Amino acid sequence: MKTKIIVPIMPKNKTELVALLKQATESQADWIEFRADFYQEVTSLEWATVVSKKPIIFTYRTLSQGGNGTLPTNELFTVLKKAIEVFPIVDIELTFQEDLLKELLDLAKDNGTQTILSLHDFEQTPSEEEILASFVKMENLGSDIAKIAVFPQAEEDVLRMISASQNYHKRPTAKPIISISMGDFGKITRLATYLTHSIATFASITTSSAQGQIPLLLTKEVLLALEGEG
């Protein structure tokens, strides 16, 4: 199976983090997303000592991008710098202050940490030109993976997201992408990832972190049927 399955965990404290990491590590997921925007004492950096046999993606999703995070820019910068030191993959929002964003990307490169540049729209699906432009911007900034998640209001919005992802993938310099249409309309993009050329999809173990996420075991079953074992 080619597509990686990512399961998000949303712990509020160190005890929950350890317990949820254990559950996710023992699951059939490939990667684990640690949603640090739900962590109550995230600036204490106490989370930096956790380990897992599976790759952990550190994500602090801000309120403006559909998350729970309200840290001031300078504090978030400190948190992300620490995350880059200890985790193999770190999600950084494309909307982050540009000079600090570039500094984080350089730090990640020096540290051998993979970066996901991400952009979310929980209200609509932008035009195909806007989606393509965002993917290209992420590529030009030097992200390892480019992620865009949008919210469709109708079936044609899903088709537009698929088309934009396919056209971006045709670029000789295209980066690996994660392309998602959220909600019920967009569920097909979470399963038929070959349509968008996404390298990974998100699935839930217990609590989902976004509308339209499908349970892990069902996601695995469908992906196996579509992609096979190889």
* Candidates 54, 82, 147, 220; catalytic one: 147
CB atoms within 10 A of CB 28: 13
Cα–Cα distance, 80 to 84 (Å, whole number): 6
**Which among 161, 156, 207, 152 has a CA at the least distance from the CA of 184?**
152
Q: What is the pLDDT of residue 216?
A: 95
Residue 34 assigned to a binding site: yes
Report the chain (230 residues): mean pLDDT per 10 consecutive residues.
Answer: 94 96 96 98 96 96 96 98 98 98 98 98 97 98 98 97 98 98 94 96 80 89 88
Q: What is the pLDDT of residue 213?
A: 84
Q: Is 169 a catalytic residue?
A: no
CB atoms within 10 A of CB 128: 17
Q: What is the pLDDT of residue 209?
A: 61
CA 116 vs. chain centroid, Å, equals 7
| Domains of the chain by start residue, with CATH | 4-227 (3.20.20.70)
Q: What does residue 202 show for φ and ψ, rounded to 5 degrees? A: -105, 140
Q: What is the pLDDT of residue 207?
A: 65
Q: What is the pLDDT of residue 228?
A: 85
Q: Is 102 a catalytic residue?
A: no
